[in-house]
Each structure stands twice: as C-alpha cells, then as structure tokens.
Structure 1
C-alpha cells in the first residue's frame, strides 16, 4: 500500500499540534522524494541534480561540509575546525584569538587526524544482512550481524586507503546499505576567523535566533601532497538571500529517534537524559573551575567547555520535548494509528514487537548507567562518558586492539574488524597536544561519577579503584603514562599483544586490569538489550513498510541526507522573528563585554562593511546535531550558506519535526564573502570562489 497524505500525517507528524508538513524528513539520496519536493517548492530538480549535490557534499569528522572550488576547497563551520585550531595553537600563538589567515596555499596546515569523505555509491545489502542473523538470538545474533558487516566492508574496500566502506542500518534494521566513500586523509586548514567572530553571543545566544555569528571556516582536501581535483562542486552565490526561497540542506545528521516506540522514549526521558544532563553539568563545572585557575588553563579548557555547553543545551531541548504533554500525546496517537494499521505478528504468540520492546525497557533502565559509564556507545545518550580522558581512550584502543587482532576478523569486536583498522590507526597515530591537567580533571570526574552512580559496594567499582581515591588514581595514571607521545602509541600498536602485556606504562596496565569487568558489561548489554531490540525493530520496520510503502524516511544515522524547506522566520510563542540578521544588527547587539564583545579584527573593519549585508538566516529545514557545516543550496545547485545551529525548540527534532518551530540557523555566503574580503584580507580565497 502506497503512503497517502493521511497516513503520512499519522506516522510522521510527531510534533505537538501540527499537521504533517512537506518539509519533513532527513532523506537518503537513493530514496529522495523528488516529485514531492518539486511539488512543494515549485522547483524542478532531477536525479542528475541530486548526484551533483551528493558528490559536492563532504563528511568531515562529526560535521558536514561542501566543496566550493575545483581545487579541493571546502566550507564548513568554524566550530567544526575548533579542535584542529586548538591542536595547531599554542598559548603564545593562539589562532582562536587571532584567526588563521594563511596568505598562500603553502601556509595551509594539516589538521592532525583530520579526514574527509565523499559518498560515491550506495548498495542495498539487506537480504545478506538479514540472512546473517537468521535463527540466532542474543549476543550470537549481534556478533553474526557485526561479522557479516565486516566481511562486506572488507570485500568492497579491501586495503584501499583512498576508500572507506560502511554498512549502514536504516529503519532500525529494516534495511541495510553499503555506503562507499572517497576518503581524504590529508585535510588542511585554509581559513578560520577569530573565535569571537564565530561565537559572538556565546552560550547566551547559542541554540537561538536572532544570531550574529560568522561561524564559517575553510579546509582543503589534498592528495599526494597537492590540492585535490574536485571538478564537481557547489557554485558560490554571495547575492543577498530572498525570503521564501526554496533551499536544500545536504549533510550528515548524527542521530534521531523518531521511529522509537513510546516505551523506548520513556526510558530516554526517565533514565538516559537525566543522567546525561547531570554528568555533563558537573563536568562543565569542573572545567570552568579548572579554566579559572590560570591563563594557560583557560586556553586549554576553552574548546572542551564550548563542546559541553552545546551538549548540555541540546539535552535540555530534548528533555523539554519529552515532558511536553501535547508533544507526547501526538506521538502516542501516531503510534496507536500505526499499531492499528500494521500487520504485526500475533501478540499471543509472544513475538509482537511492541511487547518485546516493552519487556526490554526495565532491563535497559537497569543496565544503562553501567554501560554508559564503563563502555559508552549505547546510541541512547548525549554525553560520552567512558574513561573521561583521551589518554584512557588511547589506552583502551591499544589494549583491546591487541587482544582483538589476535582473533580472526569475524570474531572480533566490530570496531576492530579488518575493514575498520585503518580508521582506528588514523586516530591513534595522530599528533595531538595532550594537557595532563585537563586529562586528570576528566579522569577524576569519570571515576568519581562512576563510584557515585554504581555505588561503593559495586564490585566493578572496587575493581576500578582498588584502594585508591579517584584523585589519587587519576594523578598516578596521568603522571606516569607516556601515551601522549604518538611514537609510543605506534610502537605499542605495531608490537601487538606481546608489547601490550610487557608494557610497564601504568595506563596500559590499568586498562588490562579492568577488561574483565568492562567487557562483561558490554556483553550483558548486547545480549539483553541490543539483540532483542534489533530483532523487534526489524519486525516493526517490516510492518511499517507494509503499511506505508517506501515513502517513509529512516532515522538519521550520521550518514548523508538531504532535507528541504524555505528561508523563513517563525511566529510562535518564544520564537517571533523574521528570517534575517545583518551586520548592523551585530553592531547594535554588541556591548563591549563578553560574550557580546566583537572580535578585534572584525570590529576594526566596521567602516569597510556594508551594514545591511545579511549575516545569518533561518530556514525551515529538518536538521539536527551533525548537520553543522551542511551546505545550503538553491534549486540551481548554488551554495547560499552553511548550517551552523538551530533553536532550543528545534532540539525536539530528535523525536519529531514541526515546521512551526523547527528552524536551522545559517551563516550566509554573503557574510562569509564580506569576512574574507573586508575583514581578513583573504583575497586568494575570494578569487577562488569566483567572487567579482
């Protein structure tokens, strides 16, 4: 049965009090509703247009980006290169304060560990993946699926360092696709403004509109030590944007949970988000205290604090959605309609997927704290926890990598399958600065929170701490380890299990000592939560396809998606504003005191800037975390800006879309052109963009 508008409303409208809107959906490129988009927007895009957009879109770490020249130039957000900027900076030469403004390509600097990818192919492998888990239960089911995914990835990409293959689960197991990427391991910073220009308004303005931020930066893709040839790219359009213009946003949104059942959402509302918010808020407090101890500490903690503030506010917006009675009532009615229409197995037979998922929730609630704290990677929460410190995570990768590589690829933890080792090594060997004081703060926080949440009497806590306090243990491990040296990490990785077991590094020895406890937590979670959830979710996906056809979009999974909407403001309580802000608005908002102090170089250029130039704009596109840096393009394929934020109300987008409140916040190409030309003197980039 094909999806009708009425059925679409029942299934897809999850936001309070709104009818289904045509703009809704983070669509995959192999199932984009071309006809529906054209009918809604009055455009005439086709498959060739989609292919050009896909090949011009870039996945950059946890962000998105767009190619804007034939010589590998890529625009993304400044906050997406913040880690690169921090890694390249010192207290004496702090590019976050001065901006990074190279005068030639020879001065562009490699981002440590930076990789960028372009999606080149999508292949359906559903039948093969479903067959891999047939007849299996528990951990045997999850491991069989993981092993098959690893085999598929290895067959497709082998040892080709210029490609990455990823098996992607869509519709929560209803479909599986093989995504093949062109991979660039040499990514260089080409421009970044002063941090104050990109983050004007700070946390007070974050996740809000009006905004006045030049949150844009440029990287360049390199191959064989030369700029990559990228003949397919977006055309730069710096003209003043027009309200009501149809736009498309191409990026890699991180994760949504719109296809979860109500019972699953209750677990997130009652257990996951409250815990994550408490943990994030305490870590933020510890880092703020650390930053206030010295100028050096303030420099070290700046980027981590900004990241935590984003995480906390994102979680706050999601909590507000899940405690909104009208929002949850709309979701409940949507699920009830689906259950009435779905041809699901007989509940009396014990295989009804809603019944199975309801039965899993008490187990998930019980196991989540230990899984989040000791392992992470549940896919449910917002705050990464396990280990706290980068040194801990490197040590875990080394220890587990050595243990797992001693096994056949199909029997390993999935992250260490042969097809994924290149990515592991890239992150492990990257030269990044390590600050012992920051590492100790993070590890103290993790150890103290683990003891608090699991309790002193939990045998796993006793295994973690022994006779030491969190402060004593973290100090001993951080002060004694040599893992900050990439040469040490490389030698241990290449030396394998023998080198790991012979190492006297205290962090390595500590990770070796806690493997039994942490692996057991992961195994329990995979057996009792992951496996039955995956099985039931696969059944729900089949029922959904039977009821609604293929016009239902999947949850976001960190893979490339295309959304669409228009340039427009909103007129709902708490969000009453037009679609544009200007540089004149920036000057008017500035007070001279943080966080409303204008960046020095930007302020010095005030007389050269046309105050009526549009700085930021709002768009009714369907985006979420991970969409940062996404190119915003018109129907001609011209780039009009880059997504860099959304509003607090939009954070409910994890669970449902509402065109009345969901707004993406965009830095315009006009504002970026003004910054490059009139503020930072980046004439070479301006010429490369084709601006005259």
Structure 2
C-alpha cells in the first residue's frame, strides 16, 4: 500500500482527540457487563435490555484468532473462511484440497472432524478486581508483585474451574485497573460442514486486501458436537433478511489487541523499534515461503495458510506503522496527553498519577534491553517451527506439572492444561520439508542479529550452518508424529526428559535463557507497565466515567454503528456491493488470478440474482480478532459477518475515527444466495434460516 491511500486517514485522526480513551462518535469496544446503554438510547433510541445482551453473548463463540456464532438449534457455527482456513487446511490432502476446491457435506455423516479446533462460548463474567489487586501489598518490589498477582490469578482460575467445570480465565482490563473472571463452555468436537473455494472467499487476493469495494464470500460453517451428537445450544442467532444504508448494526466478537490508551512514549517505542522489527521478521518469512511455494503445486498447498497469514499481518502492520509515523497523528496524541496531564495535576486526588507516565517510559527502556532475547528465545522468533513449539510445550509441561498451580507459568496453569494437552495430541498434519524452510529462515535471522560468536547460538548450531542445522533438527525429530507426542505426554515428565529427540534437546538448551528473558520481561516491563497503566486508567475512569472503555484483550466485546458510505478522492463510495459487480470486476481484470472465479461460479452466473448485496461497510469499531464476528440488527438477527477493514481502518489499533474508517462485512443475503444457487446446499440454508 502507498502513503497516498493512508494520508486522508491521518488527516482525519488529526482532527479528533483520539487519544482520550473517551468514546467519540460510535467509538468503543464495550464490555458486555458494562454497555453504554444511555448512549445507545439517546443516540439511536435503542434499549439494550439484559435479555437482548445475554442472548447475544451466549450465541457467540471464540475461535483461535477469531470469532463466530451459533446459527441453528443443531449446533451450526458460522465464521470467516480465513478464520477457519487453518482447520480446513488441516483436513486437506494432496488428493483433496478443500482450501482450493471447497467442501460441502451433504449429510451429517460426511461432516469432517477437525483434529485441533477448540471453540469457547462465554457463560459468565465476574469482577475479581479486589482480590487480584489486593494480592499486591505496599512495599513489594516488581518481582514480588508480579509473582503474587500471577499466583492469585492462577488460584482464582482453578477454584472457578473446579466449581463450574468450565474453562476459566482472568482477563486484565484497563491495563490492570480491573480484572474480570470469564468462564467459558469449551467445545472440542467441531466438524467442518461447508467452505467455499478460497478463490471466492478471498476474491481479489492481496491487491484488494484492505480495499473497498470488495467481493469476498468470506464464510465457512462448522457444527459442534458433544458425545457424538450435535449440541443443541440454548442461544443461537436467527437469520436477518433486510439491511440498508444508515441501519443500526452491532458487532459481537473478540477484538485481539488495541493500544489506544498507550502513552506517547510507548507509541514512540512501537513506532521506532517494536513494529519495524516485527515487519522485518514477517518480510523474511514471506520471501522464504513464497520462494518455496513456487517450486511445486504441493509446496504451494502446504504453505498457503502460513503465507496468507504472514502477508495479511505484514500489510496490516505496515498500515499501522505508517499511522505511527504520521506527524498529524502523533501531534494529536501529544496534545491530548498534555491536556490530560494538566487535568491530573489540577486534581489533588490524581496528582500521584503523573509519576506513572515516567514509569511507562522506563518500562520501554527496559523492554529495549531485553527484547532480542525475549523475542528470539521466549516468543520463539529464532525457531519458527511448529515442531519446535511442540518441543517447547513438552519440555515446559514436564517442568511445570509438578509445581503447585499458583507457582506455575500462566500458560500451564490448571485452567490452561486441557488446551495444552489437546494441542499436543491433535493429529494435525505437519510437513517436515516446510518446517525446515521456516526454521532455517528464522535461525539465519537470529544468526544475523546476534553474530557468529554468540555463545547460545554456537551451542544451538553445534558447528553447522543455519541451513544445515535446520535440516538435521527436523529430519532427526519425530515430533511431527501425533502418536509420538501423545506417547511422551502419557509417559509423564520422566519420559519427556529422557527423550533424545533433537528438537526436545534444542528446547532444553534454549529454555534456561528463554525463562530468564521471560522473567525479566514480566517483572521489569510487563509488571511496570501494568502498575503504571492501572493508575493512568483509573484517572481516565475518574475523569471520563462510563464513557471510557478498555483496550481490546481478545475478550468478548460489543460495538455499534450504522451501515454507512464514505468519501474517497471526492467521490462517494456506496456501502453495498452486489453480485453484478463481482462479475464485472472479473471481466475487467481479464479473468486472471487473483481475479479469476471458480468454475462453479462461472456456470452459476445465469441462476443468480445479480442484484443481491455481496459485501457492505459500516462504522463499527473493530480490530483483528473481530474476524468472523456476527453483525446483528436491532432484533439480534444476523445480517452479516465482519471480515476486514478498509485501508483507512488500519489505524484503529491506536486510535478511532469514523470519517473514512469502515468495517467490511459479507452480507448474509450473499451467503444464502450462493448456498442455494452455486453450492446446492438448500438443506443448510433451511437449517440456518428456519
């Protein structure tokens, strides 16, 4: 993307007090237990009743990395194709490429069980702020504070899990000013029902990504089972029919992470150091996978899901970096922070908050000191391999399982163990040749960043080059075999420790220094930021009251706004696209990739109502993680699925404006029309719409 596309977005941000943390226009990713009901009533005449809110909450599900919702009394769940693609890909083979060719089960017996898909359905929310914050006593240093808080969180989660038999997680809100316990119903028997071809789900490919108008049928359908029978959810979304410009809509989903409450010093660190480093890593992997994918169709199939995710992240983070590099944007942030700090200074009860801004700056300095080891060793940027992460999980499982729950790493607390075990035992396809390509790319990058004389690098490479070492590690390992991973788990810590698998040995070599980097990060960076931001957030809450919403945390949120057009280059961009526009764009681009159409779409052209709405845009506040979120109307009926942002929305991570930023969704009417007339899935339509 070029700066000429993003420049209008920067100007839009400069005109708003986007740093305030106070809701502007329809800004806000609101907690389900703290909705702005007064604002909704005054602005839209909408009464968000407890019944309406609870029904919507219980209808939603969380996917790994995305969102979805129940849409039938027989356990059907709908989400984006790109959210489900990892699991569709796991079911694919060289003979049956469901990503390329699509999939449609004609009967329930034909539905395909996903080997490694867990869905979480939120059941309840409880405020546990007092208990968590009360665990940190006056005079504790950063390390003691972090340890006490994490021990209390682990304990709260285990107590709740033992009592309810649900998956229980403590969610940090307002960067530590509040803590809520979220309890989820966990579903692990999830089966693929229907997925269109990726070519229509992601029509236009990378050139159209984050642009508008769009023509993407970005959806897929799963069914949830328990005891080998479809679940019968008490709450599911009924199908909507009509939607037009200016209609009020809502999005219920799991936005991943925003940084809107960050201080200027923190944003400068992101701009100058953190985001450029992530982009460099993504670009290197993208080049490696692109090159390998081009060698054969099978290579391309195996790498497609990884490559799609990397390209999407690269483009999104590029847009975010350009936002942070905008003088207009940063000037607006600085102006707000100056005004906010002056209000704090004038308030006797808030004066002590001023020191928190200094603490954030100090945390960023500490982050800079540890970031190489933390990113490369703890986050695994130096070991980009699914097999290595299996090894890391096994090694840490063996070390953590014998500790009291309160003392464990949070990843291995009792509430997280079922997910860890299921992930290790899942019979997912792992391709050693692809693993070698990724691992050698990341080892080479690590070599470049630390130099040939780094003691740990020398130990890891064991006298070989990164290319040679990556091949030896992967080819000598059995961790691509699910049965072997299961055998190690069932054998317990001693069997894991006794294994001489080269990737397990590598994980042991790296683990001591990785844990040291993690401890430094958690105490000197994360804990310092948590304490500082909790004070800043408390001041914002004191000054803004109910108009302040917390940054996104991949927990369930509600946003609202109208279906709306926008202006670009002096021209109105209509909010809806239609099937007719899809075929026109296909023809204008000579029917060539990435604007080619699947054969069945060409054959079905004359059957379709070409005036059917395809995609639409709205002012809904959103971010990554909202993908697959249901868009519902006032009656709580599903009218679409959010799948993207336009180019102006790439700045929503750090600020909000509704001038040109738009959420892009696939229209529910397009889903029904295509299921009936392209895929012949009338039974599926009947189940969802009746």
Aligned twin of 1:490: 486
- Asked whether the 8 Å contact 1:15–1:656 carries over to 2, the reply is yes
For the residue of structure 1 that corresponds to 2:638, the secondary structure is strand
Q: 1:12 to 1:538 in 2, by over 3 A?
A: farther
Cα distance, 1:56 vs. partner? Answer: 1.0
In the aligned structure 2, how far is the partner of 1:551 from the partner of 1:439?
Answer: 48
- Asked whether the 8 Å contact 2:68–2:629 carries over to 1, the reply is yes
- Asked whether the 8 Å contact 1:253–1:561 carries over to 2, the reply is yes
Q: Give deviations 1:388-436, integer Å, cap 9, x for gaps.
A: 0000000000001101112211111111112211111111111100111
For the residue of structure 1 that corresponds to 2:597, the secondary structure is coil
- Asked whether the 8 Å contact 2:271–2:324 carries over to 1, the reply is yes
Q: Give deviations 1:233-261, integer Å, cap 9, x for gaps.
A: 1110233x211100000000000001111
Q: Give deviations 1:442-468, integer Å, cap 9, x for gaps.
A: 111111111212233333323332322
Cα distance, 1:196 vs. partner? Answer: 0.6
Alignment of 1:92-491 (within 5 A): 92-135=95-138, 136-158=140-162, 163-239=166-242, 241-342=243-344, 352-376=355-379, 385=381, 387-491=383-487
Aligned twin of 2:507: 511
Aligned twin of 2:609: 610
- Asked whether the 8 Å contact 1:18–1:658 carries over to 2, the reply is no
Q: 1:686 to 1:339 in 2, by over 3 A?
A: same
Name which of structure 1's ranges 559-568 and 495-504 shifts more when overlaid on structure 2.
495-504
Cα distance, 1:92 vs. partner? Answer: 1.1
TM-score of the superposition, structure 1-length normalised? 0.94
TM-score of the superposition, structure 2-length normalised? 0.94
- Asked whether the 8 Å contact 2:626–2:642 carries over to 1, the reply is yes
Please give the root-mean-square deviation of Cα atoms over the aligned residues, in Å: 2.3
In the aligned structure 2, how far is the partner of 1:49 from the partner of 1:19?
Answer: 25
520, 525, 544: which one pairs with 2:521? 525
- Asked whether the 8 Å contact 2:22–2:548 carries over to 1, the reply is no
Cα distance, 1:262 vs. partner? Answer: 0.6
Aligned twin of 2:567: 571
Q: 1:18 to 1:543 in 2, by over 3 A?
A: closer
Gaps of 5+ in 2: 1-12
Gaps of 5+ in 1: 1-9, 377-383
In the aligned structure 2, how far is the partner of 1:666 from the partner of 1:579?
Answer: 10
- Asked whether the 8 Å contact 2:62–2:119 carries over to 1, the reply is yes
33, 39, 43: which one pairs with 1:40? 43
For the residue of structure 2 that corresponds to 1:642, the secondary structure is strand
Cα distance, 1:348 vs. partner? Answer: 10
In the aligned structure 1, how far is the partner of 2:504 from the partner of 2:206?
Answer: 37
In the aligned structure 1, how far is the partner of 2:288 from the partner of 2:554?
Answer: 30
In the aligned structure 1, how far is the partner of 2:215 from the partner of 2:638?
Answer: 20
- Asked whether the 8 Å contact 2:132–2:152 carries over to 1, the reply is yes
Cα distance, 1:550 vs. partner? Answer: 3.4
- Asked whether the 8 Å contact 1:150–1:410 carries over to 2, the reply is yes
Aligned twin of 1:636: 635
In the aligned structure 1, how far is the partner of 2:427 from the partner of 2:213?
Answer: 38
Q: 1:232 to 1:578 in 2, by over 3 A?
A: same
Q: 1:509 to 1:19 in 2, by over 3 A?
A: closer
For the residue of structure 1 that corresponds to 2:416, the secondary structure is helix
In the aligned structure 1, how far is the partner of 2:607 from the partner of 2:569?
Answer: 37
Q: 1:409 to 1:17 in 2, by over 3 A?
A: closer
In the aligned structure 2, how far is the partner of 1:156 from the partner of 1:426?
Answer: 21
Name which of structure 1's ranges 387-396 and 344-353 shifts more when overlaid on structure 2.
344-353
User: How many corresponding residue pairs?
Assistant: 674
Q: Give deviations 1:619-669, integer Å, cap 9, x for gaps.
A: 110000000000000001111000001122211100011011221100011
Q: Confirm or deny that 1:502 pairs with 2:505.
A: no
In the aligned structure 1, how far is the partner of 2:230 from the partner of 2:262?
Answer: 44
Q: 1:18 to 1:88 in 2, by over 3 A?
A: closer
In the aligned structure 1, how far is the partner of 2:192 from the partner of 2:50?
Answer: 33
Cα distance, 1:678 vs. partner? Answer: 0.4
Cα distance, 1:327 vs. partner? Answer: 1.3
Cα distance, 1:602 vs. partner? Answer: 1.6
- Asked whether the 8 Å contact 2:194–2:221 carries over to 1, the reply is yes
- Asked whether the 8 Å contact 2:21–2:260 carries over to 1, the reply is no
- Asked whether the 8 Å contact 1:199–1:215 carries over to 2, the reply is yes
Cα distance, 1:572 vs. partner? Answer: 4.2
In the aligned structure 2, how far is the partner of 1:585 from the partner of 1:17?
Answer: 40
Aligned twin of 2:3: none
Aligned twin of 2:4: none
